[in-house]
Structure 1
């Protein structure tokens, strides 16, 4: 959406704060031995307390309040009671929601407990690349140029990007124009970021894979070559200078 009034900005700030707080609290609540369903129910209770509705449930009938991925799962992970969190797991939580007609989206990967599998370099790279990408976005900048930046920074760290999962516009619905904000240089994408628009910027940084594949559950995207992927996401408002990070309350950089 394009923010055209103070009331619209306030609406986006409120829902962005709600998903940011929910993500932060879920990350703090996660413990080894807990099921993904337990963690998801906790997140759902926070959203309800804040008056927000789960976006994936509302939009797609997703079987959970939030999306939770473990290890080789990349996106849209079902928070199943059979999915047990373990020490050292690479965990990703994606929280998106609606409040009073406004929608926001954020997510983040982290290592649960001690980094016994050495996932932290991947997580840190994803965070740093997202920060650099966001700092380079302003009105008029080509979306393809930001994708090129993300892909180039990943290569500098010996990593790759997932090419079939993308960022997107957000605001009056979960996914809106621009429909695709890729993590790579798509020379056919001629769109530019527009001042006052709200978008969800995501990184999908991979140890090996370039594509994620949908699993048999019809929702979860996974890698099939044993590689791992870290994802981080903020909802931002584009300006003439540095963007406003609307979901800053999730403290993604920490």
Structure 2
């Protein structure tokens, strides 16, 4: 999507903020003993109370309002009876629609107590996202995003999941530009256009390279090789002054 008007931008900011508020509210409820289904219901209530609809349900008939992935799960975890325990690494990914506009955001969290290694991974996962965001500017190569994140990951001895890409968003959950790599991609030749809307969502890992289906269900993805992995995601608009981040709760 290319932002065409102030009205477009207002709607995008509205749904982006709601997605961020849902993540923030769910994170505040994250504690030992809560199930992923109970956590999902908290996110659903935030969305529905504000006139928004779950994008995974709307677009793909996903069996939950939000994606909640725990420990060995990298992405697209289905909310259910799994009980959150102390020390769990939990990713909360919320995407939603309101008034025909879509937003998408996600963050990873540790349920205390966390190890120093996982705390560092979480810190650097956020840093990796902002390294990518800092490459966003009208007229610049899209490849700059993946190149910068890849350099950061290599320097700090991490790997990146290389088959879970960022994507265009706006009038639908997934649209052009499709398959925007958050790792170095020599085949990426596109240029960032003013007003273009897309996500940046690197999956930083302590050894994982691919996301693969497991035998658990038709949705949940696991890292291969198996390793702790975090994801942080924002939806942004490209401007001449850099990225306009839409998915902020405050």
TM-score (norm 1): 0.95
Q: Distance in 1 between matches of 2:36 and 2:7?
A: 36
Q: State the partner residue of 1:63.
A: 63
Q: State the partner residue of 1:79.
A: 79
Unaligned runs of 5+ in 2: none
* Higher alpha-carbon deviation: 191-200 or 49-58: 191-200
Q: Distance in 2 between matches of 1:136 and 1:190?
A: 15
* Higher alpha-carbon deviation: 108-117 or 177-186: 108-117
Does the CA contact (< 8 Å) of 2:209 and 2:224 recur in 1? no
Q: Does 1:179 align with 2:178?
A: yes
Q: State the partner residue of 1:89.
A: 88
Does the CA contact (< 8 Å) of 2:75 and 2:221 recur in 1? yes
Q: State the partner residue of 1:165.
A: 164
> 1:202-241 to 2 correspondence within 5 Å?
202-216=201-215, 217-241=217-241
Does the CA contact (< 8 Å) of 1:88 and 1:117 recur in 2? no
Q: State the partner residue of 1:146.
A: 145
Q: State the partner residue of 1:3.
A: 3
**How far apart are 1:224 and its partner, in Å?**
4.0
> 1:119-134 to 2 correspondence within 5 Å?
119-134=118-133
Q: Distance in 1 between matches of 2:242 and 2:22?
A: 25
Q: State the partner residue of 2:113.
A: 114
Q: Distance in 2 between matches of 1:223 and 1:16?
A: 28
Q: Does 1:242 align with 2:242?
A: yes
Q: Does 1:102 align with 2:101?
A: yes
Q: Deviations over 1:166-207 (max 9, x none)?
A: 110100000011001112111112112211111111010010
Does the CA contact (< 8 Å) of 1:73 and 1:221 recur in 2? yes
Q: Distance in 1 between matches of 2:96 and 2:241?
A: 27
Q: Distance in 2 between matches of 1:226 and 1:98?
A: 33
Unaligned runs of 5+ in 1: none
RMSD between aligned alpha carbons? 1.2
Does the CA contact (< 8 Å) of 2:150 and 2:182 recur in 1? yes
Does the CA contact (< 8 Å) of 2:182 and 2:200 recur in 1? no
Q: Deviations over 1:110-146 (max 9, x none)?
A: 1112214741111111101111210221112212221
Does the CA contact (< 8 Å) of 2:129 and 2:233 recur in 1? yes
* Higher alpha-carbon deviation: 109-118 or 126-135: 109-118
SS of the equivalent of 1:105 reads strand
* Higher alpha-carbon deviation: 9-18 or 189-198: 189-198
Does the CA contact (< 8 Å) of 2:209 and 2:225 recur in 1? no
Flag as ranges the 4+ runs of structure 1 deviating above 6 A. none
Q: Distance in 2 between matches of 1:220 and 1:80?
A: 12
SS of the equivalent of 1:119 reads helix
TM-score (norm 2): 0.97
SS of the equivalent of 1:212 reads strand
